[in-house]
Amino acid sequence: MSELNVLLRGKALLSEPLLNKGLAFSEAERDAFGLRGLLPRNVETLEEQIDAALSFLDSLSTPLARHVRLREIQDSNETLFYAILERDLERCLPLIYTPTVGEACQKFSQIWQKPRGLFLTYPERDRMEELLADPSLDDVRVIVVTDGERILGLGDQGAGGMGIPIGKLSIYTAAAGIAPEQTLPIMLDTGTNNPELRANPEYIGWKHERVRGAEYDAFIEQFVSAVQKRWPDIILHWEDFAGPNAAPILERYQERLCCFNDDIQGTAAVTTGAILAANHARKGRLRDHTVVMLGGGSAGVGVARLMYRVMRDEGASEEEARGRFYMLDKDGLLTTNRTDLDDGQKLFARSDWQDPATDFETVVKRVRPSILIGVSGVAGLFSEAIVRDMAQHCERPIIFPLSNPTSHSEATPADLMTWTDGRALVSTGSPFPPLKRDGKTHRIDQTNNAYIFPGLSLGIRASGATRATEGMFMAAARGLAAISPLKDDPDGNLLPPVTEMRRVAFAVAEAVASQARKDGVCPHAAEGDLREKIESFIWKPEYRAYRKG
């Protein structure tokens, strides 16, 4: 590895997380960069630093304390932080993201220590271009942005929602090797409608009711215009926007720049990929399934739309594919008699439902689904009676309680396996511990968007795509299904283990990049080996030797 020219020295060098090595600075580097006296005498290797960090994490008593410690390491030494994740992503993923990130967002004002990313607040909207112009942001290629209104299943967390973009971008780097300096978390602070936050003297955000309507839309437009001007080739990842805003924002901007909404499209791709993998166990087609979707928000509609597209690709007519879905929200089954549905929900509203009862239990009893998906955000809705009824009519029921964090899951894997006599194919939205059944320990699959969005963006970068098309999300789902352990082992899992996230990201990136070329959204793409192109974008957490610049 070549040496790196470094201009900083002394405390300035130690304060730069992208360059700081801590005790791993060599004797020669300590002399060259004025570090004598600023560091203890011992010189450590990166491996020794990882060992020490993981040992200290084990000594901490709560997941939140471990989350805070990992963030402290990230803010002081990014190479070490990502080397820790590379060593033990299975242990660290639940700490830097779900479920621990939920509590971290709720307590963000109390645990915030150092600036990371940008807080763009509504009162300072006229300075947006100035704030984006910081030269330290010149290399940014991927932005994750939220307004903090719908954080996981926790609702409006205001400025505390910044924990989500920070966590997501950590996964971009850990799973797909997107270089840390090429990532930027952004919080669009348009106020909060959480009265407890506004009344809390420790709250670090704008203590104002949320901006709505035309003013909000103008603020989003101002943000997108400023981002496009600053980074014409940016990948913009919308995250945790509330339902009334999420789909309209995506629709408004998806043809204007390369952007996607992970809650809508990422969730759809990973769920569809896991279900396509489950089909290997049933040896069937998706178009032959009956799907009950509990949750009619943007995530539920997004999942249904992608599955609908797969069914159409399998040869189902539009009417046949739509007829396979029964979608419910808090008011029951979506039917054409209802006047409160948005355009996405109308696509799946039933015109043939004659029963006056539209509740969840009635729908399951009547339609006998083979796939049950929960994106309701409400714990325990997959009751024993409902699941047992489903299992009576389906040999291998596919049941995905996807709401997160863990406390909001529609059912636990243990209960689902008990109620189906171990026949269910289960994947959850948040991590659950392994199950012991019939003398064997079984890993619980997590339908985590981390299986999709890192590889998606890596594929976009490698192909030079200027848009994220529906076909690219379809390709991501198929790419994920293609590496399912279930393909080679009838008792295997639907999804690869978290320890193989790099392999997953690479497979998804290849599928996405290939589809992007087919979809004609890579006007300047150079022909050649996609694998080599993808590999050229992958950053690895390794210390380089420094020389004075």
**142-146 β-sheet, strand order:** 118-121, 183-189, 142-146, 235-238, 258-261
Alpha-carbon distance of 447 to 302, in angstroms, equals: 15
Alpha-carbon distance of 54 to 88, in angstroms, equals: 9
Instruction: List the catalytic residue out of 21, 82, 97, 203.
Output: 97
Residue 326 — φ and ψ, nearest 5°? -130, 110
**Three-state SS across 359-375?**
CHHHHHHHHCCCEEEEC
**Cis previous bond, 454, omega within 30:** no
What DSSP line would sit under 422-468, residue for residue? T--EEEESS----EEETTEEEPPEE--GGGTHHHHHHHHHHHT-SS-
Q: Which residues pair with 399 in a beta bridge?
A: 372, 426
Instruction: List the catalytic residue out of 11, 21, 114, 168.
Output: 168
Q: Is 97 considered catalytic here?
A: yes
Alpha-carbon distance of 228 to 466, in angstroms, equals: 12
Alpha-carbon distance of 457 to 447, in angstroms, equals: 18
Closest CA to 174 of 96, 238, 115: 96
CA distances from 269 to 121, 263, 478, 480, 520 (A): 32, 10, 9, 9, 21
Alpha-carbon distance of 246 to 122, in angstroms, equals: 18
Helix (H, G, I), strand (E, B) or coil at 357: coil
Q: Is 168 considered catalytic here?
A: yes
Closest CA to 375 of 418, 420, 328: 328
Catalytic residue numbers, as ranges: 97, 168
